[in-house]
Amino acid sequence: MQEAIKDSELRELFEKYSCYVGRILLGSQILCGFITAIVALAFTVSQYHDLAVGRLVYISLLAGAFGALLISITCFADSSFSWLAPYISWVTWFLCLTSVHLLYALFSPAEPLNSVVYVFALLLATSVSHSLECLAASVMTILTALSFLLPVILSPVCQPLRPFQLSGAVIFCLFGTAVSLYLRRLWERQQKCMSEDSRPCIESRIKMECEKEQQETLLLSVIPAYIAVEVKRNVMSKMREATQESTALKQQFYDMYVQRHNNVSILYADIVNFTPLSEKLSAANLVHVLNELFGMFDEIAQDNQCLRIKILGDCYYCVSGLPVSRPNHASNCVTMGLSMIEAIKMMREATGSDIDMRIGIHSGSVLCGVIGLRKWQFDVWSDDVTLANHMESGGVPGLLRRMHAMLFDDVYCLTEAGANDDLVPAVFSRRVHITYATLMELNGKFEVEPGNGKSRDSYLAEHSVETYLIKRPKDFSVFELKGRSNLIRNKSIECWGVDKPFASTSEAHIARNVAKSFCGSDDFYPLLMTFRSRGLEEEYGKEEDHHLRLSSAMAFLAFLVCAVLHFLHLTPSTGMLVGTGLTGIFLMICFAFVWLRRPKEDVLFRRTLLLSFVNLAIVLYTGIPLFFHHDSWSMAVSTKDSRNSTDGESDSFLAHSESPCFELPLSTAAALVSISTSALFLRWHFLLKLVTMLLAIILHSVWLLVFRPRRSMEGGGERSWELILAMCLLCGILHSLNANLEKSLRLKYLWNARLTVPHEDEETMRVLNKVLLENMLPGHVARLFLSRDNTTQGLYHEKYSSVAVMFASIPNYKEFYDENDVNQRGLECLRLLNEIICDFDKLLLKPKFSSIEKIKTIGSTYMAAAGLQPGERKEAEGRTRKEEQNLVVMVDFALAMMAVLDQINKESFQRFKLRIGINHGPVVAGVVGAQKPQYDIWGNTVNVASRMDSCGQMGKVQVTEDTAKCLEAAGLELEFRGPTFVKGKGTLTTYFLKTIFDARPCP
């Protein structure tokens, strides 16, 4: 699927670029036609006479047509332009061709050769018809040439001069056709090379951008942006240090990314009765329900300016006031809690279960950030966080009387349930439970009633915490239900439509952004078309021009055409022959240098100098002889006059030299040939080409407007403006082509340079991605998310038949933690916890523990599981052996943790003890959460393992009876503890694992 997206997006990229270039080229062609029509209209008005009336009307209509076409191509969208462009190109060509021939046929019927200059411009204009296929453009070019040649050949005008007319017209048109086809071939090959050569570069760029966005998504899903910046900077710094030999001493402590925030509110929410529901659901349905529910919670949190901290099984907690301090943080959390109650109501009706919410809120200060080396998860720590947790566990457990449900409809009030009351599960039985500190922050915004939390939680009673219950407002509608009304009717969670994890990471979106950045690069100046980097400009200048030899041959052909046109137009003289010979010898030397030698250094300077001399020589050869034509022309006229008195015959050269219908077009034809020569060279800067073309125009214009009228025959000077306009028209068309060729060449080089030149930052980014991914998701899960299209495939979930789950807590860390000025309000206490967790994480780097996956840390509790490798759920053979392997490696890891903590106690003079609970059995693993995806495991196995820890003893490893049997079968010794009450599970038979740490006294 990703390959299909990549191909379609790359195809769309080149289509957009092609459309962009085609629109500019076609637009410039139409614009030139429009400007020509406007200028012609102005000259016609200035020279108004009876004959100009029809011409005035025709040119006005022509200008209107060009204007309409110009507006149309600017208004069409890319999709419309792509299929309309060929038709617009044919219409534009037809308008140009018919206008040229009709104007001269209707208003200058005796001078058919005068249209040759516009036909030549039209021939070259077809070469820039980028919207047409190569065959269509070639047909257009040939039709243009024939439309001029056939009328000239068949015309009865100027019969005495027919050989000279035909020879000049044929040579000129054939050269124009050859140049047009060559430029078209040059353009097609350049675009093809650009597409083929740049594809790997763009694919690499898209891949890098995808990796970057996915890395950002993963990182920000775990860590807020303000901490993520510091994490990335430190990781990159360590990566650079690792590549260099350093004798620096090892740092004393591990890095810790923790900050203190005051004036925040903490919300804890627990889903009551979720475990029975989870046992009824399949793995896929369980993950889907959790993703929908927690995804909805994430949306509510975002709407209420709360930051989700973590998901602990079926417990959800968040904070308002992070990372930006907010004066309404308490109100945000209360509104969040009320909205969560609305959300759980929808879940209850959709699943037909009796699940509910228990919510506790407290306001105070927190230490927030990430600790450890692996599986980073943003968390908060402080006494206020502990209190908020107990506010949730001390929430109201009441039921509703049925009469209250009927009396107050959908508004419920809590009362104590009597023994004989007819009771139903409460729709809003769980109330938002807040402390006095939170109540003070609400400023009377919500009505409250006494919460009596001390009667339901010993911690609240021990610390004499006054609690209150929020009364649900009757007009409460913060959580929008209108768009989810079909959920209640259909009892289906499929219609909720919460985003899937990583669904925002769109390769198509990235490819479009890459396309936009590549089509409009900021790496070179738009007017000068030179790279902003001097080094990049120098390297670009060293690029070899593979078309230079063929372009040189075409340029020499242009010189020969100019020479032939001069000899057909001007009276031969010694100076003219010498000039032609010297120019030809100079050009042959230059072209021999091109063909026989390939410069190795300073390619740009030598090539620019060489091509400048070549084009300047052709321009000067074309223009200078016209200024010395006066003497030979006058001599020819005198000779002709004397011969006319005695003989009616005249010399052919003299006869055609005084023909007004032939002399002016051929002189301008030579100028047009010299103008077109500059466009033949691909890697000559387009501004130098423009200067050369303008020089040729100026030179010929001076001759036409200053020198030519003094000796012009009747009618010759009246057409000077038309010839100058034709040269300007050709200059505009070629300049548009040259500018776009220059841009495409530079873009191609720029893209390839980004691909071929190794970028240290890109390589660092790839390594950083790998490091960050390994610290957020299990390896196989991360690879799965990065290798597939998560917008179309289902949620990730995996069901395992037997997984060993461990919870390891440090109960006496709570006694050690103290918030006073000496330890920076608990920061130094947290630093020691970070050292402990980091040393635990380092154990996972050992090969023997490679099958163990750290799931998360909850305060000072470390959660891990063994047997979560992909494909484990499909293994049926050797199940018992696999159970033993998972349990044995988990027990070894638990013992290694106890040894590590014992060493830390010696170094820090502490007496910390681990309390460990282990259980094994089936679990469901998956990734849930739309805004902040999180990997987790669920199932009764996980819940029992957690209870084995909470009801265990410090310094011991407690296991269930089934787990004990497996461990005994593996050769481990266990101690029978006996029946043990387990909260939520009743009485279970448990065992303690015998270890070397048993003889050591507990503190």
Which residues 6+ apart lie within 8 Å of 664 measured at CB? Answer: 114, 704, 708, 716, 719, 720, 723
Contact between 148 and 122 (Cβ < 8 Å): no
* Cα separation values, 180 from 144, 579, 635, 676, 980, Å: 11, 28, 39, 10, 94
Rounded to 5 degrees, what angle do the CA atoms 392, 398, 399 make? 140
Please give the Cα distance from 315 to 272 (Å, whole number). 9
CA dihedral sign, ordered 889, 891, 896, 897:
positive
Q: Count Cβ atoms below 10 Å from residue 489 Cβ, excluding itself.
A: 9
Tell me if 884 sits within 8 A of 812, measured CB to CB.
no
Helix (H) / strand (E) containing 856: strand 852-858
Nearest to 176 by CA among 215, 229, 122: 122
Number of Cβ atoms within 10 Å of the Cβ of 425: 13
Who contacts 79 (Cβ-Cβ below 8 Å, separation ≥6)?
A: none
Structure tokens that stand for 27 in this block? 């637009």
947 catalytic? Reply is: yes
Distance CA 702, CA 710 (A): 12
Token couple for 934? 């999180």
Helix (H/G/I), strand (E/B), else coil: 268: strand
How far is 812 from 390, CA to CA, in rounded Å?
18
Instruction: With H, G, I as helix, E, B as strand and everything else as coil, classify residue 417.
Output: coil
Is residue 627 within 8 Å of 703, Cβ to Cβ?
Answer: yes
Beta carbons within 10 angstroms of residue 808's beta carbon:
24
- The CA distance from 972 to 884, in Å, is 11
**Cα separation, 184 vs 138, whole angstroms:** 8
CA distance 976 to 994: 10
Element (H, E) at 923: strand 915-928
Cα–Cα distance for residue pair 32/28, rounded to 1 Å:
6
The one-letter amino acid at 57: V
Name the token pair of 944. 């029992």
d(Cα 341, Cα 356) in Å, to the nearest integer? Answer: 8
- The single residue of 689, 913, 947, 956 carrying the catalytic annotation is 947
Q: Look up residue 629 and give its two tokens.
A: 């034509």
* Dihedral sign for Cα atoms in the order 542, 546, 547, 553: positive
> How far, in Å, CA of 386 to CA of 829, rounded?
15
Q: Which of 848, 866, 712, 751 is nearest to 803 (CA)?
A: 866
| Nearest alpha carbon to residue 738 among 117, 25, 126, 16 | 25
Q: Rounded distance, CA 877 to CA 111, Å?
A: 98
Structure tokens belonging to residue 527: 């007017």
- Out of 516, 983, 994, 1000, pick the active-site residue: 983
Helix, strand and coil content of the chain, in percent to the nearest 5, comes to 60, 15, 25
Cβ–Cβ contacts within 10 Å for residue 45, how many? 12
DSSP 3-state of 156: coil
Q: Is 850 helix (H, G, I), strand (E, B) or coil?
A: coil
Q: Is the peptide bond before 526 cis (omega within 30 degrees of 0)?
A: no
Amino acid symbol at 975: E
Residues 6+ apart with CB under 8 A from 476: 338
| Residues identified as active-site | 947, 983
